[in-house]
A and B are shown apart, each in its own frame.
Chain A
């Protein structure tokens, strides 16, 4: 049992240091006493014998607690093994779930996300192989991914990656392999909608966690940094790493504790959490659903035509347009004060973005552009529809987002 030997060695070392200190203290005390107060040789001997006995007992006690700690470790390992076994069992059940209807598919996706979250803190016991298998199952089951799915997947990927880094010392494989697994996991699972593409940010956080754990830069953290594509993000991360290395150990420990707390506190990123946690993204999720649903979109369009022709609304529409015009003018005021060359750069960039995200392919189909362009197109459409719905709400009080009228009465759309 090499571990017990190590512990014993440490105990011996500590004992000899303590003995030295004790002798020194006795010497100091003795020298400080007057002649009468000084104990006789017998008394000293007696005292030393008592102390020796006491120390023998302490050593026994220490050995006992070390053995107990080892037992505890073994027990913990057994427990983790059992838990991991249960998770694999759960995964098998998910694999056998039917996935024919949309409802079945959505239930399977939900179960996958739940299992990933539960497995996260025990992933080390099988070097995160099981969790990755759940991801594979998740990707297989989701044939019509929505924005909500991409968002949830991004969140889960990030949380697993952070768990991998913050429990780095508990894996059972060499460091090089750990880094390889973390890199490939983040790289492969971050694929999806550009709006939610966070590979670089996740890798940057991982690098900081590893640096706080004193993992060497060369052959370690460096290999994570290498996979950050965005040069600005890379530079920022390296600067942060330099600061981390200078920080005292206690501060780094505090940082790691905080990360672990965050991982504990946050629950599964369910659709409900998407709504609560990320209001902006939620708007996009809803907008995407509407744009993808021709029925709802047609209803909104015909309602917009009705509203625009409604004589009662004309006055209100004129007033709203005037307010919007004034708001736009006001919004552009600080920009007017900018230098001409700055205004030109912004204008050129704006024209390019609009051209890239709005154009069509030769057959009238959407042209496949850069990943950035595609993601930005989705965002642009979402914002445009949101603005239209906002105007309809202001004009007629019809809220398509929650299916209610702001004027009190319900009007399901």
Chain B
């Protein structure tokens, strides 16, 4: 139950939540990438184009340690945006 909890939800809810999560993850990664200096950006491109799992994990641990904080903030942001857009849509 714990590990597959998402699969137990109605498909529509599950898919919408997954899409939102994807967007949050992407936005957070983009922000974290932009925070890196040029040298690290090149290093990240090289590592994530390769198949070296260990290097990828090390890079995430060493240089994107704040990704989790960014994700929490992005989640709050996107939820606020939805609420706001919904209010605007209802007003129309």
Q: Give A residues with C-beta under 8 Å from B.
A: 195, 200, 229-233, 280-281, 283-284, 291-292, 294, 297-298, 301, 304-305, 308, 317, 319-324, 326-328, 330-332, 335, 338, 341-342, 344-350, 352-354, 356, 360, 366, 369-373, 375-376, 379-381, 383-388, 390-391, 394
Contact = CB atoms under 8 A, between A and B. Distances in A.
Tell me if A's interface is mostly helix, strand, loop or mixed.
Answer: helix
B16 to A, nearest CB: 6
Interface residues of B, number: 55
A317 B16 CA distance: 11
A14 B67 CA distance: 58
A144 to B, nearest CB: 14
A353 B25 contact: yes
Given A200-B65, A291-B2, A338-B30, 6 more contacts: A280-B75, A321-B16, A327-B85, A345-B44, A346-B29, A350-B22
B21 A380 contact: yes
A384 B24 CA distance: 10
A308 B18 contact: no
A229 B62 contact: yes
Nearest to A301: B8
Interface of B is mostly: helix
Contacts of B10: 304-305, 308
Contacts of A354: 25
A233 to B, nearest CB: 8
A370 B20 contact: no
Contacts of B62: 229-232
Residue from the set B25, B62, B73, B89 with the largest chain A CB neighbour count within 10 Å: B25
A321 B33 CA distance: 30
Contact of B16 (A230, A324, A344, A353): A324
A370 B13 contact: no
A283 to B, nearest CB: 8
B17 A350 contact: no
B17 A388 contact: yes
A322 B72 CA distance: 24
A385 B41 CA distance: 32
A364 to B, nearest CB: 9
Contact of A384 (B6, B40, B73, B78): B6
A354 B89 CA distance: 32
A348 B23 CA distance: 14
Contact of B57 (A280, A292, A317, A372): A372
Most buried by B among A319, A324, A341: A324
A281 B76 CA distance: 12
Contact of B82 (A195, A283, A327, A342): A327
The 6 closest A-B pairs by CB, nearest first: A280-B72, A348-B48, A308-B10, A372-B61, A370-B57, A387-B17
A331 B23 contact: yes
Interface in B1-36: 1-3, 5-6, 8-10, 12-13, 16-27, 29-30, 33
B3 to A, nearest CB: 6
Given A350-B26, A384-B21, A388-B9, A370 B61 contact: yes
A169 B45 CA distance: 47
